[in-house]
Amino acid sequence: MLWLIPLAVIVLAAVLIGVVIANQGSADDSANAQSQSESGTGEEEVDLSFVEHRVEDDSRALGDVDAPVTLVMFSDYQCPYCAAWNEETMPTMMDYVDKGDLRIEMRDLAVFGEESERAARAAYAAGLQGKYWEFHNAMFEGGEHPPKSELDDDSLVATAKDLGLDPTKFKGDMNSVEAHDEFEANAQEGYSLGVASTPTFVIGGKPLVGAQPTDEFVSAVDDALAEAEG
Distances (CA, A) of 208 to 58, 72, 114, 141, 201: 23, 10, 26, 24, 5
Closest CA to 77 of 145, 132, 133: 145
Give the dihedral of Cα atoms 196, 51, 118, 164; nearest 10 deg: 140
Q: Which of 3-17, 22-36, 95-109 has the highest mean pLDDT?
A: 95-109
Q: How many CB atoms lie within 10 A of CB 53?
A: 15
Which of 18-22, 105-109, 205-209, 220-224 bottoms out in mean pLDDT, i.e. has the lowest? 18-22
**Alpha helix stretches (DSSP H) within the chain:** 7-23, 29-39, 80-88, 90-98, 114-128, 132-139, 153-162, 167-174, 177-192, 214-229
Handedness of CA 158, 160, 165, 171 (dihedral sign): negative
Q: Decide: helix, strand or coil at residue 72.
A: strand
pLDDT tens column, 100-148: 999 999 999 999 999 999 999 999 999 999 999 999 999 999 999 999 9
Mean pLDDT of 188-212: 95
Query: In this predicted structure, what is the pLDDT of residue 45?
Result: 65
Residue 193 per-residue DSSP state? T
Mean pLDDT of 69-89: 98
Mean pLDDT of 23-32: 40
Query: In this predicted structure, what is the pLDDT of residue 211?
Result: 84
Residue 205 per-residue DSSP state? T
Query: In this predicted structure, what is the pLDDT of residue 191?
Result: 92
Write down the mean pLDDT value for the chain: 86
